[in-house]
Amino acid sequence: MSIWECCELLNEFVDESDPDLDEPQIEHLLQTAEAIRRDYPDEDWLHLTALIHDLGKVLLHPGFGGDPQWCVVGDTFPLGCAFDESIVHHQYFKQNPDSNNPALNTKLGIYSENCGLDKVTMSWGHDMYMYLVAKANKTTLPPAGLFIIRFHSFYAMHKSGAYKYLMNDEDQEMLKWLHVFNKYDLYSKSKVLVNQEEVKPYYLSLIEKYFPAKLRW
């Protein structure tokens, strides 16, 4: 199906993990994208990234397996090294066998200093799913767009500054764009709904620019 068809599928879902949002997901996507579009009018890739960043939540849909919300939404974090205390509900990691595995519970674990986040295995969720879909369908979004999609729920890193020792110089540059995006992801929510039919032609033009007409999901 197309990107826009996937957006419309999300009309059926409200993210239970988001205390600020009780509107369908497509409203959140459009509000985020439109807010960024107003402030960064020349960065069309960022407008589209905002529109599609949460499309991985389609995993909640019965047609995609109907995964429960706990394994689709919420914060993401690296696997294969120590769980940082800034991760939400960190106290429950003591029940995870990795916490007692000496190969996995040190600062670097299986990684090397500044190896780059592209080498890091992240916990599963909607971020990683949409990142893989975009890559597999050969999107022409710039690397910063893919970085935002993959790591926007990695709050320990972009909110608390954890795991910087795994990042390389390229990650540090792209993190600047994630910080820009994050302000709109969190603070663009409004009861004033976006006129979908009015903005749809603009976003369809961006989808056509950066993605194939139909994607394999």
pLDDT tens for the chain, 217 residues long, are 999 999 988 887 765 655 555 567 788 889 999 999 999 999 999 999 999 999 999 999 998 889 999 999 999 999 999 999 999 999 999 999 999 999 999 999 999 999 999 999 999 999 999 999 999 999 999 999 999 999 999 999 999 999 999 999 999 999 999 999 999 987 555 567 889 899 999 999 999 999 999 999 9
Of 164, 209, 160, 212, nearest to 48 (Cα)?
209
Binding site members:
28, 53-54, 126, 152, 185
Q: How many domains does the chain have?
A: 1
| 45 token code pair | 């890739």
Is position 70 within any domain?
yes
* 179 within 8 A of 99, measured Cβ to Cβ: no
Q: Which CATH number characterizes residue 158's domain? A: 1.10.3210
Binding site members for Fe cation:
28, 53-54, 126, 152, 185
The helix/strand/coil state of 150 is: helix
d(CA 9, CA 133): 16
Is position 160 within any domain?
yes
Q: Taking the model in full, what pTM does it have?
A: 0.92
**Sole residue written with tokens 């459009």:** 30
Is position 217 within any domain?
no
Is position 216 within any domain?
no
* 35 within 8 A of 188, measured Cβ to Cβ: yes
Is position 215 within any domain?
no
Q: DSSP label at 124?
A: P
- Domain span holding position 198: 3-210
